[in-house]
Structure 1
């Protein structure tokens, strides 16, 4: 098995994410919403930085994980319903801001690193690792919707509405979870195509 020694991409991604977080915290639309939205970013990003020397994911995994970190951080700055994304709404003939759908779709990309970690560590077969990654994302998606509802009720007012980001869609939670699931399936297709469990070792 070969070892990937190219550290350029992870470094570039770390710089981009760090810069986006700093930018996002400068005069956010709703400071209280920004704090609530940035917490999960920090909870994911910091452990990746800390554990980098102990376990290096493939560059593809880092690329997949960076998508959500960047999109969610942008959404934290504007609130997801107010991200300048009108061009896409006009393109598909919709009045709704669909930026949050893209962010939810990118959450599903984390099925790739989950499956990669389990398979490279030898905890299970690649197939079971992929299945676990899919189920994990679906569970996280459902859990996050509950947290969104809980925060919106506690915060109340405009901040609660902006954090929830349903934009009047009664099926918003279900469609968000579907986007998460589709993102997971998409990333797992790449997982089985790239086979990172065959080309990367755990020693770095």
Structure 2
């Protein structure tokens, strides 16, 4: 993972694919106000990925994991997370609730892989401290997002606020969302530890 001004082809391809998803999402969304509020952080993350990639080239796996959330979040912005057509999954796990938002929150945790990779490869931290740092970073981000989500829902009020919050009547929605973020982070960090161990052994 060396720094390069030329973007990795994987990043370019994933960005082009995301542009298609963004275009689809922008066509007649359930609520234009909610769509804008949801898309702003997604575009912000995409821009941040490109900015960081000018100085640090992530692995292909890291880029793919980061773009999973971008894709899911952008689809959720179109329908609102409670209304995304996701019956096949809900029926698979035997749930009457639309769990698309839970899957999207799990995908947020996948960013822990990229955080750990960056911190470790730039030699800011050893592998285990980098792993713990990435885990706690995701957990902190998850808590911060739930607070921002609550704040926006209160300000927007009415159906728009409810649609943005997406709790679907679950009083423990925020806690469950944070748990999904954390489980996603743990999963991606186990992958990170496995891959870095193989790399060090092969060397």
Q: TM-score, normalised by structure 2?
A: 0.92
Q: C-alpha separation between the residues in 2 aligned to 1:6 and 1:44?
A: 16
Residue 79 of structure 1 is matched in structure 2 by 80
Residue 152 of structure 1 is matched in structure 2 by 153
Residue 13 of structure 1 is matched in structure 2 by 14
- 1:151-190 to 2 correspondences below 5 Å: 151-190=152-191
Change in CA separation of 1:156 and 1:6 when aligned onto 2, cut-off 3 Å: closer
Residue 34 of structure 2 is matched in structure 1 by 33
Q: What is the Cα-based RMSD across aligned positions, in Å?
A: 2.2
Q: C-alpha separation between the residues in 2 aligned to 1:188 and 1:37?
A: 26
Q: Aligned-pair distance for 1:73?
A: 0.4
Q: C-alpha separation between the residues in 1 aligned to 2:155 and 2:3?
A: 48
> Structure 1 residue 68 and structure 2 residue 90: aligned?
no
Residue 138 of structure 1 is matched in structure 2 by 139
Q: C-alpha separation between the residues in 1 aligned to 2:22 and 2:151?
A: 25
Tell me the matched-pair count. Answer: 199
Q: TM-score, normalised by structure 1?
A: 0.91
Q: Deviations over 1:46-86 (max 9, x none)?
A: 12223433211111100110110000000001100000001
Q: Is the 8 A contact 2:7 2:53 kept in 1?
A: no
Q: Deviations over 1:21-60 (max 9, x none)?
A: 1221111110000011001101110122234332111111
Q: C-alpha separation between the residues in 2 aligned to 1:168 and 1:2?
A: 47
> Structure 1 residue 112 and structure 2 residue 76: aligned?
no
Q: Any stretches of 5+ residues in structure 1 without a counterpart?
A: 200-204
- 1:114-129 to 2 correspondences below 5 Å: 114-129=115-130
Q: C-alpha separation between the residues in 1 aligned to 2:100 and 2:94?
A: 14
Q: Secondary structure at the match of 1:65?
A: helix
Change in CA separation of 1:107 and 1:14 when aligned onto 2, cut-off 3 Å: same
Q: C-alpha separation between the residues in 2 aligned to 1:53 and 1:47?
A: 10
Which one has more relative contact order, counting CA pairs under 8 Å at least 6 apart? 1
Q: C-alpha separation between the residues in 2 aligned to 1:60 and 1:99?
A: 23
Q: C-alpha separation between the residues in 1 aligned to 2:33 and 2:7?
A: 39
Residue 103 of structure 2 is matched in structure 1 by 102
Q: Aligned-pair distance for 1:3?
A: 9.4
Q: Deviations over 1:96-142 (max 9, x none)?
A: 00000000000000111111111111111010001000000000000
Residue 192 of structure 2 is matched in structure 1 by 191
Q: C-alpha separation between the residues in 1 aligned to 2:178 and 2:151?
A: 17
Q: Aligned-pair distance for 1:10?
A: 2.3
